[in-house]
Amino acid sequence: MECRGSVILGYFKYIKKTWGQLGQDECAKAVGLDLDKVKEAIWFDIRYSENILEWIYKNKGEEAVVSCGTYTVKDLGFLSYIVRFANVKKIIGRAPESHRDAFRGSGSLKVDIRDSSALITMKDTAISEYSCLAWKGCFIGALEMTNTTGTVIEKQCQLKDADHCEFIMEWE
């Protein structure tokens, strides 16, 4: 299983913004990454991504991992201005394509969109509890970036003996 360097760089951008260069350096050292060698389009073993999320969790807690996922989704530069005017249904509807673009060999993501909610089903994507927290943050980020009031609840998890992970996203 692999992830693009863009995922790793997004996590490190969050770390630097939140805890400064020192935090970024500490995390890079802890996970054994030379950030100068991480490029957006290059594929990396997904364990690097998981180790970064684990470092955030162990040093800053659960909410920091969720915030990292939220930040990473919302950090689109100029595109974030345009996306604010998009409908949350369109943004979350693109989640399967975004997942396939960022992760290789890491399961599947499906979205069933309803009037004011979405059922997000993920199979074989739960590498660790940290990835589940980051995914929850990503879905919260989709709500925030479209200025949509709503909630995201994890209903079940493969790591807790379910057949798949399932998130319910609801909005007004």
Give the domain CATH number at 154: 3.90.1520.10
Q: State yes or no: pLDDT of 111 exceeds 90.
A: yes
Last residue of a domain, one of 74, 102, 129: 74
Q: What is the reported pTM?
A: 0.90
Same domain? For 52 and 125 the reply is: no
What integer is the mean pLDDT of 136-151? 93
- Report CA dihedral (90, 66, 24, 84) to the nearest 10 degrees: 30
Please tell me whether residues 105 and 167 are part of one structural domain: yes
Amino acid 78: pLDDT: 47
Question: Are residues 70 and 87 located together in one domain of the fold?
Answer: no
Please indicate, yes or no, whether residues 57 and 99 belong to a single structural domain of this protein: no
Is the same domain home to 16 and 65? yes
Which of 74, 103, 122 corresponds to the end of one domain?
Answer: 74
Q: What is the pLDDT of residue 21?
A: 97
Coil, strand, or helix at residue 75? coil
Kind and range of the H or E run holding 113: strand 108-113
pLDDT of 4-33, one tens digit each? 999 999 999 999 999 999 999 999 999 999
**Is the same domain home to 85 and 165?**
yes
Q: How many CB atoms lie within 10 A of CB 138?
A: 24
The parent domain of residue 156 ranges over 81-171
The mean pLDDT of 95-121, rounded to a whole number, is 92
Give the whole-number percent of the chain exceeding pLDDT 90.
Answer: 76
User: What is the average pLDDT value for the chain, to the nearest integer?
Assistant: 91
Q: What is the tens place of the pLDDT at every residue in 60-81?
A: 999 999 999 999 988 865 455 5
Please report which confidence band the pLDDT of residue 115 belongs to, taking 50, 70 and 90 as the band edges: very high
Instruction: Please give the pLDDT value at position 76.
Output: 63
Contact indicator for 167, 116 with CB cutoff of 8 Å: no
